[in-house]
Structure 1
Amino acid sequence: MARYRGPRLRIVRRLGELPGLSRKSPRKNYPPGQHGQARKKKTEYAVRLEEKQKLRFNYGLTEKKLLRYVKKARRAGGSTGLVLLQLLEMRLDNTIFRLGFGPTIPSARQAVNHGHITVNGRVVSIPSYQCRPGDVIGVRDRDASKKLIEANLEFPGLANVPSHLELDKAKMEAKVNSVIEREWIALNVNELLVVEYYSRQA
């Protein structure tokens, strides 16, 4: 299944706030559709599925890619849920979004795809690139790139830059100091239910 390109507020109404997907807030606070207001009590499976969908839509992943991240997190050792969130948060498109270089993750992904972003002085156009401690993320030295990022920095998606990133707004450059900590993950999700969802799928 391809990446979701439909109405974003519909997803926000169904799953709750997804800062990476949309900056807008829905006017109605119940799920969309004919039975949105008359939803019955959710089954355990529905709750786990909803948590998984939050991750998928917030980070803009296909089902196949998310499953690949879950398997990678399992192999890494430690808490699978936390490692999974860290892997997703350390993606280049998400790091660009957290720095304020893009108002949402889809727009940050587009900035990366179009070659506006550099990592350690080299242009990287792969949104899934895993940022590592010590990486220096910058803006490509050309007018179009600088104008785009300057405009985005005026109205960043999230107010605060996480503690693992160090941003120099004047130079439009940032350094990754460490792996992100759980309290700085902006998405309200229960990662243990996501791991449980996939363990029951296997």
Structure 2
Amino acid sequence: MAKYIGPKTKIARKFGEPIFGPDKYLERKNYPPGEHGASRKRKKQSEYGMQLAEKQKAKYTYGVLERQFRNLFKRAQRSKGVTGVELLQLLESRLDNVVFRLGIAPTRAGARQLVSHRHITVNGEVVNIASYQVKKGDIVGVREKSKSLEIISDSLATNRASKYAWLEWDQDNFAGKFVNLPEREEIPENIQEQLIVELYSK
């Protein structure tokens, strides 16, 4: 399974925000990476540069590589809704992201690992494909023999599902329901999706 395995703090510093989650190094060095990062004056970014940066930020945030991202964009384009919002909804519907949002894993990378190691079920069936698209009404849960895993119990101790209106968490069954697709204002990621649409529309 292809994924980004490079330095995460360096990427977060490039965008100036913790796109991979809490980062103590970013807090200490909140300026661009490189020898002259702290003192370098940033040139005014071109329109294309802004659009490209926004796409890169979205890709890194959700842990999606270029081909997957482009395919999701094409799918969003074919839908009847607003392309940018549809794209974010498709990204939010990925199984690894839903596992992360439910609080089963502390990060999206951790969620991806749980999925690929067959610890996660959808409607009672084990699914080990991180990009699996969760649909309205689906129940995403932890496999019975995986409920005692320390990484899962520690993450659930600070369960986040209640933060999101489109998810419902059942603590007794270690499972969450994907109630509906989130509205744009409910998605907390700082992404300007219209810039991505403009980039791909060139």
Whether 1:187 aligns to 2:189 is yes
Alpha-carbon distance between aligned partners in 1 of 2:195 and 2:98, rounded to the nearest angstrom? 24
Contact 2:16 2:31 in 1 (8 A): no
What is the one-letter code of the residue matched to 1:136? I
Contact 1:93 1:105 in 2 (8 A): yes
Deviation at 1:17, TM superposition (A): 2.5
Alpha-carbon distance between aligned partners in 2 of 1:85 and 1:109, rounded to the nearest angstrom? 18
Contact 1:136 1:176 in 2 (8 A): yes
Deviation at 1:146, TM superposition (A): 4.4
Q: 1:143 to 1:113 in 2, by over 3 A?
A: closer
Return 5+ residue gaps in structure 2 as ranges: none
How do residues 25-104 of structure 1 correspond to structure 2 at under 5 angstroms? 25=24, 26=26, 27-36=28-37, 37-104=40-107
How do residues 136-151 of structure 1 correspond to structure 2 at under 5 angstroms? 136-143=139-146, 146-151=149-154
Deviation at 1:170, TM superposition (A): 3.1
Q: Once the two structures are superposed, what CA deviation does each residue of 1:66-97 show, in whole Å capped at 9, x if it has no partner?
A: 11111000001220000000000011000011
What is the one-letter code of the residue matched to 2:12? V
Contact 1:3 1:60 in 2 (8 A): yes
Match of 1:14 in 2: 14
Aligned pairs, number: 197
Deviation at 1:171, TM superposition (A): 2.2
Contact 2:97 2:108 in 1 (8 A): yes
Contact 1:51 1:193 in 2 (8 A): yes
SS of residue matched to 1:142:
helix
Return 5+ residue gaps in structure 1 as ranges: none
Contact 1:51 1:190 in 2 (8 A): yes
Alpha-carbon distance between aligned partners in 1 of 2:18 and 2:162, rounded to the nearest angstrom? 16
Deviation at 1:183, TM superposition (A): 1.6
Q: 1:145 to 1:52 in 2, by over 3 A?
A: farther
What is the one-letter code of the residue matched to 1:169? Q
Match of 2:5 in 1: 5
SS of residue matched to 1:175:
strand
Q: Once the two structures are superposed, what CA deviation does each residue of 1:78-118 show, in whole Å capped at 9, x if it has no partner?
A: 20000000000011000011111111111100000000101
SS of residue matched to 2:137:
coil
Q: Give TM-score, length-normalised by structure 1.
A: 0.91
Q: Give TM-score, length-normalised by structure 2.
A: 0.91
What is the one-letter code of the residue matched to 2:76? A
Identity of aligned residues (%): 47
Deviation at 1:199, TM superposition (A): 1.0
Structure having greater relative contact order (Cα 8 Å, sep ≥ 6) = 1
Match of 2:137 in 1: 134
